Amino acid sequence: MATKTNVNPAAKSYAKTGIIAAIVIAVAACGVWLVSSLNGNSGASVEESMEMVSTDAANASDLRIAVIRMDAIQNDAVALQDLRKQKENYESKLRDELTKRQKELEKEKAEIEKSQDVLSREALQRRVVDYQGRVNELQRDLTERAQSIEMSFQKALNDVQTKHLDPIIEGTIAKKKLSLVVDGRFARTGADAANLDITDEIVKALDKKVSKVKMDTPKGF
């Protein structure tokens, strides 16, 4: 069997830095080549290119705009509140199981420590390895189940969005003959903008359409 050579961490770091530096230099060289190529074949001027852009634009008097605060919908809609409760219940069960299994492992660890003077070196080592294996298994199991909870929750959210919320928003756009709907989280509005924020109407319509959506049961539950 080949002998494993210990490599100085500093040398490994230096080698890694050298590789990164070489990549940076190579990319920079490609960038210089690309710029020189573009300069050599610049094509049309800005003025010539602008010939492709028309003077047409939306007229403010013709625009009908509304704002929807998606964060408020997520907080206030009955179906989404229920989904969060389902997720929290699964997470609570997982935390309870974690606490229980941690106590079991702590008890086993204490027993191993007490048996150090009784067991042979080999027997003690086997028990320690077995204990560590169970710790690792617990970590993997709980991580996978936590991920499964999140996946199930996100799937349910997506179902509400595509099956219920999107059709309501599209119907509202048609009914109000809106030209543009803006996410209120990224908009700033004045106090005198009457009928601009339609979030409450969307929430009421969504509550009427759906009040409960069941999450798929996460793996391990």
pLDDT along the chain (221 residues), means of 10: 44 43 44 46 70 73 85 93 95 91 89 85 88 89 92 95 92 90 74 77 92 92 89
Residues in contact with 76: Cβ distance below 8 Å, sequence separation at least 6, in sequence order: 203
- pLDDT attached to residue 220: 87
- pLDDT attached to residue 188: 67
Can you give the chain as a three-state secondary structure string?
CCCCCCCCHHHHHHHHHHHHHHHHHHHHHHHHHHHHHHHHCCCCCHHHHHHHCCCCCCCHHHCCEEEECHHHHHHHCHHHHHHHHHHHHHHHHHHHHHHHHHHHHHHHHHHHHHHHHCCCHHHHHHHHHHHHHHHHHHHHHHHHHHHHHHHHHHHHHHHHHHHHHHHHHHHHHHHHCCCEEEEHHHCCCCCCCCCCECHHHHHHHHHHHCCCCCCCCCCCC
- pLDDT attached to residue 191: 63
- pLDDT attached to residue 42: 56
- pLDDT attached to residue 32: 44
